[in-house]
Amino acid sequence: MAEEAKVYKVKKIAELRTLLEERVRKMEEELGQWRALLDFVNTTVLKKSFKRAEIMKPPPLLQASPQVGAEEVAPAEEQAIPLKTVTGDLLANLLVNEDSMRVVLAEDKQFDINTPPFRAFLLERVLVKMQEKDREEKISPDKIFSYNIVREGDIVREIEIRNIGFERSGELRSTIKWTLEKMYEKMTATA
């Protein structure tokens, strides 16, 4: 009788294990679906939740003067695009050329790297994701999207972005403008 009870318990435990394994499998499948949905929502937010960059008629192309003793070097052309708030406050100047852009932040503004949404949105959700996507696509190292944040302490002075590609240029302009507007709103609200 004791032997039968032992066999019965083992059988019930084995059934319980099967139920648990099935439940875990279903939950992992559901988690995968939730993650896919979250990625979709994040992509949609990135593309549609912020205003498009207000791009004023750009001034004529700026030409960098060649360095002394560099007669053979062709000057790099950069198109200057001011990013302003709706009230006309200058946030930054975008200096865009063929496959790169520099975001030179307004000197009279103190854009702290820790002010949201700079790190969580612009860095992690946009710039890092673009870089990861290029790496996953096995693009040659010299063509991978890259960026550099130039700072003085925690104050962002410039963002250098390379290998942007034509399709990313407009998205980056809009994203950067939206981020700077939100940071500026937080800065002026606390001032």
Residue pair 60/80 in contact by the 8 Å Cβ criterion: no
Residue pair 114/154 in contact by the 8 Å Cβ criterion: yes
pLDDT of 113 above 50: yes
Write down the pLDDT at residue 40. Answer: 65
Write down the pLDDT at residue 10. Answer: 87
Residue 60 is assigned to a structural domain of this protein: no
pLDDT in tens, 128-163: 988 888 888 878 888 888 899 998 998 999 999 998
Residue 111 is assigned to a structural domain of this protein: yes
Residue 37 is assigned to a structural domain of this protein: no
| Neighbouring-strand partners of residue 148 | 160
- State how far Cα 44 lies from the chain centre: 13
- C-alpha 112/C-alpha 119 separation (Å) is 10
- For the chain, the average pLDDT equals 78
Phi, psi of 99 (to 5 degrees): -135, 25
Residue 59 is assigned to a structural domain of this protein: no
Residue 183 is assigned to a structural domain of this protein: yes
Q: Tell me how far apart the terminal alpha carbons of the chain are, to the nearest angstrom.
A: 81
Nearest CA to 104 out of 117, 95, 113 is that of 95
- C-alpha 152/C-alpha 186 separation (Å) is 20
Residue 144 DSSP class: S
Token pair belonging to 189: 């609200």
Write down the pLDDT at residue 7. Answer: 85
The domain tally of the chain equals 1
- C-alpha 93/C-alpha 96 separation (Å) is 9
Residue with tokens 């399709």: 167
Q: Which domain holds residue 131?
A: 76-190
pLDDT in tens, 40-78: 666 666 555 544 444 333 344 343 333 344 344 334 577
Residue 115 is assigned to a structural domain of this protein: yes
Quick one: pLDDT band at residue 36, thresholds 50, 70, 90? low
Nearest CA to 102 out of 158, 156, 176 is that of 158
